[in-house]
Amino acid sequence: MSEPKRSAMRVADSDRENVAQLLYEAMGAGRITAGELETRLDAVYAAKTFAEFEPVVADLSPGGALALSHTGDEEQGGRRSFAVMSGTTRRFDGPLPSRHVSRAFWGSVRLDLRRARIAAGSCTIRAVAVMGGVKIVVPEDFALDVRGLGLMGGFGTGRGTGRRRPEPGAPVLRVTGFAWWGSVKVIRRPLEPRRRSFRGRG
């Protein structure tokens, strides 16, 4: 498909999110101001075609909006979790896909990976939280590589109840993405919660 025809194509939500991520990162690096971010985001979420993205990213992306759209194409093969003004919980049993995308917009996503396995040695989760939260619960034997951007929000690991530490060569879970007025948190927890025993009075 030629570039002129592609620029006239309708955009998907994932395309808008890819452009929005570029804007968040640009503000975090000091390339645009918070006011510019808000103005450009309004244009991004109102856009209907790739051509409407071009003036928003012309001074930020060498390849323009069409180059950014390839990221969205690559995600088509991965599994996804979405929450828009709602909450969702997903529990994974068995092998994880090599890539997973989780997005929360004015809502929350909880991923429970305690019964999951990383078959290929590593798994990458791209987590995006906008005025919402993504919480990822992992088993104690996963090695973690958490690298994301928090803008007026938090992105990182939280305190869990797990006490074990992964062994050398353990499967690696990589978490990337960003949080804007929201949070992305990765927490270690044992497979089963501990139960407290109570002695009856009598």
> 10 Å Cβ neighbour count for 122?
15
Structure tokens at 15: 């395309």
3-state secondary structure 3-70: HHHHHCCECCHHHHHHHHHHHHHHHHCCCCCHHHHHHHHHHHHHCCEHHHCHHHHCCCCCCHHHHHHH
Best CA proximity match to 3, nearest among 46, 51, 47, 44? 51
The pLDDT tens digits of the residues spanning 163-178 come to 566 667 788 899 988 8
Q: How far is CA 87 from CA 15, 54, 132, in A?
A: 22, 33, 9
| Beta carbons within 8 Å of 173's beta carbon, 6+ residues apart | 113, 118, 122, 123, 125, 138, 142, 143, 144, 145, 186
The pLDDT tens digits of the residues spanning 2-20 come to 445 667 888 887 777 778 7
d(CA 133, CA 107) in angstroms, rounded, equals: 7
- Does the pTM surpass 0.85? The reply is no
* Domain boundary assignment for the chain: 3-75, 79-188
State the distance between the two ends of the chain, measured CA to CA, in whole angstroms. Answer: 80
The pLDDT tens digits of the residues spanning 58-103 come to 888 765 555 555 444 444 444 778 787 788 888 888 888 888 888 8
d(CA 144, CA 186) in angstroms, rounded, equals: 9
d(CA 25, CA 3) in angstroms, rounded, equals: 26
pLDDT at 189 over 70: yes
